[in-house]
Structure 1
Amino acid sequence: MSLEASMIVIDNSEWMRNGDYTPNRLAAQNEAVNLIFSSKTQANRESTVGLMTMAGKSPEVLVTLTSDVGKILSALHGVKISNKADFMTGIQIAQLALKHRQNRNQRQRIVVFVGSPVEADERTLVKLAKKMKKNNVAVDIVNFGEEAENTAKLEAFINNVNNSDNSHLVSIPPGPHILSDMLISTPIIAGEEGAPSGFGGGGGDFEFGVDPNLDPELALALRISLEEEKARQEAEAAKQGGGSSGSGDKSMGESSSSQAAQVSGESMAIDSKAPASGEQQKHEDMSAEDAELQAALAMSMGDNNNAQGGAVPDEDVNMDDLSEQDQLQRALEMSMNNDSAEANNEMLSAVLSSLPGVDQNDERIQKALEDLQDKKDKEGKKDDDK
């Protein structure tokens, strides 16, 4: 899958209380958001995803572009249902948020969930679609709940924003099915190549034997552990073969170092270009409408940062920037943060023992499990004292 920066726009209007999707529209939507985030970051580890709402007082950016699933899950947990959804403003603010992406090589994409009536007329939607197409922004729409009323308008929007089949409309009527399950085989998740690895509908052909749709944090922890084990084995093999290979190994080592330096240099070059590109955009002429949207985006980010203790939106914490211990701790803690931590520990041990290349005695995993259990014991003791 291509390198992308994606903004997911969710519907948190009053219509999302309806229970025609299991268990209700809002919860079904949240599960689908988790699926989309996992599919994009697993397909390309340099892809980033942001999250925003389009109802309430006004559309609001909850999470700027990130590869940290913890931020997305935390934001989803705090979403409140309120008022009507503003499809037009939500799309435009999402497009402005994409301009803040640090990696200019990322393609821009907006994934919007529409679970309430779209009030804008078709002519206005077409005008917005053409603007998105001109700015090279692809748009995917998940049309559910009010799909009968919205389909004609949204089809007109997609037809005008579509560029070489890069935008899609998926309409999912109510039923006994799960919304996220219905998305797996659609172009929004599968793309043109079909369902990505780990997201097939076979029920058992998942990476590490764990369904990332149900437990993306555990899947991430297992993937990290397996990669570390592979690196360790490769290092041992290289060390053992050092004496016999002689100058050949030295040459290979020098080649690897040269390649690493080249990759590092390219990364620095990309980073150095980003600010310059940002400065260029600052000097672009903006219409009065764009200026208002820019102010709305800034207010949205500012309100969200204050709620999160003043975090700087452009300085997202990337999982790759954390230590390996912190990555495992973060992933496992979110995956197992419930009242059955001990049972989950046993389950995890059973899963680890069945996986090739994963050391179930990995100190980081064991330490993470122990810390979680200690935390649960302390919380339980506090509850008993009360």
Structure 2
Amino acid sequence: MVLEATVLVLDNSEWTRNGDYTPNRFQAQIDAIHVLFNMKTLDNPENTVGVIAHAGASPQVLVSLTNDIGALLKGMHELKIEGVGHFTTGIQIAQLLLKHRANKNQRQRVIIFSASPLDSDEKVLVKLGKKLKKNNISVDVINIGEYSQNEQELQEFVNAVDAGGSSQLITLPPDNKLLSESIKAAFRQISLNDGDNGGFNDDLGFDMDPNMDPELAMALRMSLEEEVARQRAVQPVDQQSQGPSVQPSNNSDAMDTMDEEEQIRKAIELSLQSGENEIPESSANKDHDDLVSSLIDTLPGVDPTDPSLQQELNKAKGNDNKGKSNEKDEDKTN
């Protein structure tokens, strides 16, 4: 997460009444300012953002460097369209605002909108760009409105201020998308190219406005990441624990479909099955008898004292004992 102080400079000149962007150039910039403020403050809680309007009699500072969304809303409330733009003067005032930032460890950045014809020629812009570069200030220019007329001069300005790809010219012709979404997509692509998330993980899947509580939004983001990691770690264990639980359910369903005599016969067979572990014969016989008795008692409509039932049990027990004695004789002969 980059620690940065950013000044957003918007164009509120008469040219921004044009409706080629939805709903017009002026309101499209207002929406984009909110998106950019959100991006920067969510990227790092210690980031600060200021706002300047560069048109009118002279540029005016609307919002000093802050991370408070309330201060942004208050400062933008009475902004209106007036006069002509002052591109270079707006950047110079932004430079002064950054110079007086409270945290000197913050990097310095200006994001400026150009929606009207430039008031300076290429030489003045290049000179200003070199001065900004010397003071370690990065500049992103969002070129809208009169984009074809201004593009060459703005590109020379960005080339002069750029240091290692830190400054960008973003030209956005009118289309069917909102300007704020186009700007967000452009910065997302720049951030991906730089290997940084750029603070774009701000939707979180909740019906909440992360602008209202950035700290809560960040806590939710971290909680979601931890929960995903926990579920991935627990998933193999759950699959192993679910495996053995299928067999008893099938046996229970099978018993429900049998009639009374078949249930008795099945209970006797289960009781006489020998286990894998060696158990003393007297103890095993006792366990078998107890198991048979408990199984018969649970069967509906069965009388455990019925002579025919006792005869079948004794016969089965005798066959089992006979089989065991034959196995012992074979073991002795071997």
User: What TM-score range do you get, normalising by the shorter chain?
Assistant: 0.5 to 0.7
CA distance 1:190–1:69, change in 2 (3 Å): farther
Partner Cα distance (2:63, 2:211) in 1: 18
- 1:307-333 C-alpha deviation (Å, 9 max, x unpaired): xxxxxxxxxxxxxxxxxxxxxxxxxxx
- Look up the match of 1:173: 173
CA distance 1:177–1:194, change in 2 (3 Å): farther
- Look up the match of 2:41: 41
Shift in Å, 1:199: 4.8
Amino acid in structure 2 at the alignment position of 1:120 = S
CA distance 1:42–1:126, change in 2 (3 Å): same
CA distance 1:134–1:222, change in 2 (3 Å): closer
* SS of equivalent residue, structure 1 residue 110: strand
Asked if the contact 1:168–1:188 (Cα under 8 Å) also holds between the matched residues in 2, the reply is no
Please say if 1:109 is aligned against 2:106.
Answer: no
Amino acid in structure 2 at the alignment position of 1:223 = A
- 1:334-360 C-alpha deviation (Å, 9 max, x unpaired): xxxxxxxxxxxxxxxxxxxxxxxxxxx
CA distance 1:6–1:221, change in 2 (3 Å): closer
* SS of equivalent residue, structure 1 residue 5: strand
- Look up the match of 2:217: 223
CA distance 1:124–1:70, change in 2 (3 Å): same
Asked if the contact 1:208–1:223 (Cα under 8 Å) also holds between the matched residues in 2, the reply is no
- 1:342-380 C-alpha deviation (Å, 9 max, x unpaired): xxxxxxxxxxxxxxxxxxxxxxxxxxxxxxxxxxxxxxx
Identity %: 45
Asked if the contact 1:39–1:189 (Cα under 8 Å) also holds between the matched residues in 2, the reply is no
- 1:121-179 C-alpha deviation (Å, 9 max, x unpaired): 00110000000000110001110011010100000000010001110110000121110
Please say if 1:193 is aligned against 2:195.
Answer: yes
Q: Where in structure 2 are the equivalents of 1:93-132 lying within 5 Å?
A: 93-132=93-132
CA distance 1:50–1:113, change in 2 (3 Å): same
Partner Cα distance (1:139, 1:184) in 2: 16
* SS of equivalent residue, structure 2 residue 45: coil
Partner Cα distance (2:189, 2:125) in 1: 24
Listed as ranges, the gaps of 5+ residues in structure 1 are: 201-205, 231-386
- Look up the match of 1:207: 204
Asked if the contact 2:5–2:109 (Cα under 8 Å) also holds between the matched residues in 1, the reply is yes
Q: Where in structure 2 are the equivalents of 1:299-314 lying within 5 Å?
A: none
Shift in Å, 1:225: 7.8
Shift in Å, 1:195: 5.0
Partner Cα distance (2:196, 2:136) in 1: 23
* SS of equivalent residue, structure 1 residue 184: helix
Partner Cα distance (2:50, 2:175) in 1: 29
Amino acid in structure 2 at the alignment position of 1:110 = V
CA distance 1:223–1:216, change in 2 (3 Å): closer
Amino acid in structure 1 at the alignment position of 2:204 = E
- 1:260-282 C-alpha deviation (Å, 9 max, x unpaired): xxxxxxxxxxxxxxxxxxxxxxx
Asked if the contact 2:45–2:214 (Cα under 8 Å) also holds between the matched residues in 1, the reply is no
Please say if 1:140 is aligned against 2:140.
Answer: yes
- 1:29-65 C-alpha deviation (Å, 9 max, x unpaired): 0111111111111011101000111011101111110
Partner Cα distance (1:21, 1:75) in 2: 23
Shift in Å, 1:112: 0.3
Partner Cα distance (1:39, 1:190) in 2: 13
- Look up the match of 2:70: 70
Q: Where in structure 2 are the equivalents of 1:230-269 lying within 5 Å?
A: none
Q: Aligned residue pairs: how many?
A: 222
Partner Cα distance (1:197, 1:125) in 2: 30
CA distance 1:177–1:208, change in 2 (3 Å): closer
Please say if 1:164 is aligned against 2:164.
Answer: yes
Partner Cα distance (1:16, 1:136) in 2: 31
Listed as ranges, the gaps of 5+ residues in structure 2 are: 225-334
Partner Cα distance (2:64, 2:212) in 1: 24
* SS of equivalent residue, structure 1 residue 61: strand
Partner Cα distance (1:121, 1:91) in 2: 15
Please say if 1:83 is aligned against 2:83.
Answer: yes
Shift in Å, 1:218: 4.7
TM-score with structure 2 length normalisation? 0.62
* SS of equivalent residue, structure 1 residue 165: coil
Amino acid in structure 2 at the alignment position of 1:209 = F
Partner Cα distance (1:198, 1:109) in 2: 18
Shift in Å, 1:76: 2.0
Larger Rg: 2
Shift in Å, 1:72: 1.2
CA distance 1:94–1:33, change in 2 (3 Å): same
Shift in Å, 1:70: 1.3
Higher relative contact order (CA 8 A, sep 6+): 1
Amino acid in structure 1 at the alignment position of 2:217 = R
CA distance 1:86–1:105, change in 2 (3 Å): same
